[in-house]
Amino acid sequence: MSRTAIETKHAPQAIGPYSQAIDLGDFIFVSGQIPLNPETMEVVAGGIKEQTQQVMKNLAAVLKEAGLSFDHVAKFTIYLTDMNDFAALNETYAAYLTAPYPARATVEVSQLPKGVKVEMDVIAKR
């Protein structure tokens, strides 16, 4: 099995030893995205809604580079630093998706990189 890195300038560049995404043929594994503006590499201003919007934009950019969209996503994993943000996250997240919605896990974590409130990764299928 061969793996190919997917890279786009329309999403934040990897800040460690990982790829934005890996293409394994039928499956695309997109690394966790946090709410960084890809042009400035700074965390977007605002609360959970603004941060969720930026994460979704970053994920969409990586998927687009692979020739895919959210319609190809089979699974989201969402990491929140405060489960009290769950309802606002859902409202913002849902605006980017159509039914039938992908499978999903959402977990509360103690901390995320750069002090952000949310991080998401996805698994997509061609």
The pLDDT tens digits for 45-56 are: 999 999 999 999
Predicted model pTM: 0.96
Q: Where are the beta strands (DSSP E) in 1-126?
A: 4-6, 21-23, 27-33, 73-80, 103-108, 118-125
Whether residue 15 is predicted with pLDDT greater than 90 in this model: the reply is: no
CATH number at residue 78: 3.30.1330.40
pLDDT tens digits, one per residue of 58-70: 999 999 999 999 9
| Cα–Cα distance for residue pair 107/82, rounded to 1 Å | 9
Cite the DSSP H helix spans in the chain: 48-65, 86-94
pLDDT-derived band at 109, boundaries 50, 70, 90? very high
For 111-118, what is the mean pLDDT? 97
Q: Residue 74 sits in which domain range?
A: 4-125
Distances (CA, A) of 23 to 1, 2, 31, 58: 10, 9, 11, 17
Our count of domains for the chain comes to 1
1 pLDDT above the threshold of 90: no
